[in-house]
A and B are shown apart, each in its own frame.
Chain A
Amino acid sequence: METTLVGFIALYIVMLATFTGIEVISRVPAILHTPLMSGSNFVHGIVVVGALYALLNATTPAQQVIGFVGVLLGAGNAAGGYVVTRRMLAMFKASAKEKA
């Protein structure tokens, strides 16, 4: 496999992603802190993709077991994070809407 994340390219990505993270989050009002935390919790559920890759390339039984657990945990992170965040956000309503 060709590597894309070589040396400085990886560092540039980390730097830009750090600023993106800070910029995106610093404007969030305190009332949305929980959904935001839960939402970012969901986003790192993308780890399931890495776990799948590791599992598909497993050669030994030990690797298969660990890979299986990894995919299981990652899938739980993603699905659980999604459902919980969606439920929380569904509750936030403006008073104007209620009257309408």
Chain B
Amino acid sequence: MWLYLLKRVVLGVAVIAIAEAFLLLMIHAVPGDPAVALLGPQATPEFRAQLHQQMGLDKPLVVQIVTFFGGLLRGNLGFDVFSQRPVADVVFEQLPYTIELILVSILWAVAVAVPLGCYSAMRRNSMIDQAVGIVAVATIAIPSFVMAVSALLIFAVMLGWLPAIGAGTGFADRVIHLILPAFAMGIGWVGYISRLVRASMLEILGENHIRMARSFGLSEWRIVTGYALPLAILPTVTIIGVGIAWLLSSAVFIEVVFARPGIGALIVNAVRARNYPVVMGGALVTTFLIVTATTMSDLINAALDPRAREEL
């Protein structure tokens, strides 16, 4: 187990390092000068040189990579020339909004999907089970930004029930502003998790200890909630780790559609403005989050199922 843990952590660090090095290389490989892109073609050479120096672009590539990773170890993600602030400050200021959105989305999705999955498994091939199955596949397939624009159009613009944009101020207002974004982001997960719970529930309901419980005359409800669900929920726990990556990707779109602050919106705006230090910093922090989440879920998986440790 300890060896497995060590391997996973080393792999995680390697992933982050390779990804960042790749992005740094790309910045170099691309024709054109980031400083020109930032300042526009009319900038004086002196001004450009000054910016080069500020961004560290006047030094050789190897020095830049070493400086970047050296800075990382000290928690320094670089300097945002636009806002004249450290990139770390800019990124971490936006992070809580994204985490809040992801947590609320996954919580409501799990809360709805688990009972739905259990019900589908208990009434297998009933009308409701089949309907849930079709809707689940549909909600998984439809992209989150289409879902978001549809929700915005129906509930904010046409019906006027909920606010369309922003994150709100004060607790109640923030909760109200979270409803639509969290709905658009979580709906696909309701479908996915309910199918997952249904599948593992069906598998477990066929096992010996459940037949044993049945022969003791326990009610179907007791069997499902008391004996089957604790086992059937395990794949969901591990998939949520992978889900963080998914949700971070949809957060990019959800934050743009609902004009919410957050790390996804930050990266999109930085890409549009060609603000490389912020793109790099944002990509680094999101990669870190995803690698951490997937590593954690793999570790939980390995702790529960020793066979998983063999792979790698």
User: A and B from one assembly?
Assistant: no
Chain A residues close to B by CB (< 8 Å): none
